[in-house]
Amino acid sequence: MADSLKDKACIVGIGETEYSKNSGRSEMRLALEAIKAACEDAGISPKELDGIVRFSVDSNQVDEIARNFGIENLRFFPEVFFGGGAGCGIVQMAAMAVALGKAKYVACFRALNERSGFRYGQMASAMPMAGHFQYSIPFGLMAPGSMVAVMAIRHIHLYGTKTTDLGEVAVAFRRHANMNPKAMMHDRPLTLEDHANARMIAYPLRLFDYCQETDGAAALIVTSPERAKDLKQKPVYIMAAEQGTGSWIEMMTSYQRENIADLEEYTRLAPHLWKEAGIGPEDIDCAQFYDAFTPLVIMQLESFGFCKFGEGGPFVRDGALQIDGRLPCNTSGGCLSEAYIHGVNQIVEGVRQIRGTSPVQVPDCKHVLVTAGSGIPTGALILRSP
């Protein structure tokens, strides 16, 4: 029995649509475009796909995708739950299937019209409130940003984190977006003053602590190292892929757990991730953190061991996360400034960094950490160069 997933699978294709506020086409069309582009990038036909992994929240079903491409023998078609938490889990699923010979070429994707269609935080259609939301939404905690704001207040209370530290995160990723022509915020510079003076959305979070809302899609193709040799691109090896939860799981509101200033999901999965990869935080050349909101980046730096708990605020100061800083992060601009494709665009950027083809390229980039959604069951990947 295989005792590790390390280096048993590679990402060999990446595909994206444009990122916009109004795609003007269906989520199915976006998914097909991104998957087709990823196949072309890899040098395979979509008809060769025998695995497709979807986000449970995605509106696109696997059967319709398979019909569109005329795929006749799909052998592997799971889905991963928990919204943006599925981001790296879809790749873990694909890698396991490939490693065990259950599929040859697996597509992982996310497609959404989050801006022109249903926007997160728009709760009206879900009333009255069932599940765990029956305990939170009637009191007004309705939007993801508000659900993270209460965690940020704890971080500030326990550790003295400053809102200017949140600004450092926003400014760093915006600088990268300004260098990335695909980024929604490509033409919009941001300063720490702009961040501090922006309108308040959910105290202590202001406008630029929030990610983009995006219409678009991103996709990846996963296969074995042997098959990768015959394909177009330099393979990007999946060194480690983990999913994990914390205690007292709720979607975004796991507030019964002892410490909500710690993103417990990552803290628990990180040791497994580092052990499988056989490397540590000091070996990471750049990180693509799930950054739906700025405080989540500061907390993840702590959970993954880039600094001690409580030191995420000081860590990000003086441009540490920028391309020329000590840990370049979210080099495409991330969810904050490139696009919100539920973090799958950040896996795509991780692949580009290993290939050496990012518009915001980290020199000699060998190891990349990518993480999935925060405050929910989630996942993470470590990618490496061949």
Residue ranges in contact with other proteins by CB under 8 A: 119, 121-124, 127-130, 132, 134-143, 146, 149-151, 153-154, 157, 199-204, 248, 253, 255-256, 260
Shortest distance (Å) from residue 264 CB to other proteins: 15
Residues 6+ apart with CB under 8 A from 88: 241, 242, 243, 343, 347, 370, 371, 372, 378, 379, 380, 381
Structure tokens at 341: 């494709």
d(CA 365, CA 368): 8
In angstroms, give the least distance from the CB of 131 to other proteins.
8
Q: For residue 60, how many other CB atoms are within 10 A of its CB?
A: 24
Catalytic-role residue among 19, 120, 237, 290: 290
Q: Of 191, 148, 189, give the one whose Cα is nearest residue 294.
A: 148
Q: Is 203 a catalytic residue?
A: no
Query: Based on CB atoms, which residue is closest to other proteins, 153 or 179?
Result: 153
Locus of tokens 């990038």: 41
Q: How far is the CB of 214 from other proteins (least distance, A)?
A: 16
Q: Cis peptide before 128, with omega less than 30 degrees from 0?
A: yes
- C-alpha neighbours within 13 Å on the C-beta side of residue 93: 23
135 is an active site residue:
no
DSSP per position, 276-333: HHT--GGG-SEEE---SBHHHHHHHHHHTTSS-TT-HHHHHGGGTTSTTSSS-B-TT-
Nearer to other proteins, 45 or 259 (CB): 259
CA atoms within 13 A on the CB side of 125: 6
When the beta carbons of 95 and 211 are compared against other proteins, the nearer one is 211
Element spanning 5, H or E = none
Angle between helices 62-69 and 27-42 (to 10 degrees): 60
Q: Biggest alpha carbon distance in the chain?
A: 57
* Contact present, 360 and 248 (Cβ < 8 Å): no
**3-class DSSP state for residue 153?**
helix
Q: How far is the CB of 41 from other proteins (least distance, A)?
A: 36
Question: Please, which residue, 138 or 356, has the CB nearer to other proteins?
Answer: 138
Nearer to other proteins, 46 or 295 (CB): 295
Strands 106-113 and 378-384, by their bridges, are: unpaired
Closest CB 259 distance from other proteins, rounded Å: 11
- Which CB, 255 or 385, lies closer to other proteins? 255
Cβ of residue 247: shortest distance to other proteins, in angstroms?
9
Give CA–CA dist 134/115, Å, rounded: 26
Find out whether 172 and 316 touch, Cβ atoms under 8 Å: yes
Nearer to other proteins, 154 or 275 (CB): 154
Please, which residues have CB within 8 angstroms of residue 161's CB and are 6 or more apart in sequence? 152, 155, 295, 298, 310, 312, 313
Rounded least distance, CB 254 to other proteins, Å:
11
Instruction: Compare residues 88 and 205 and give the one whose CB is closer to other proteins.
Output: 205
Q: How far is the CB of 138 from other proteins (least distance, A)?
A: 5
Catalytic residues, which ones?
A: 290, 340
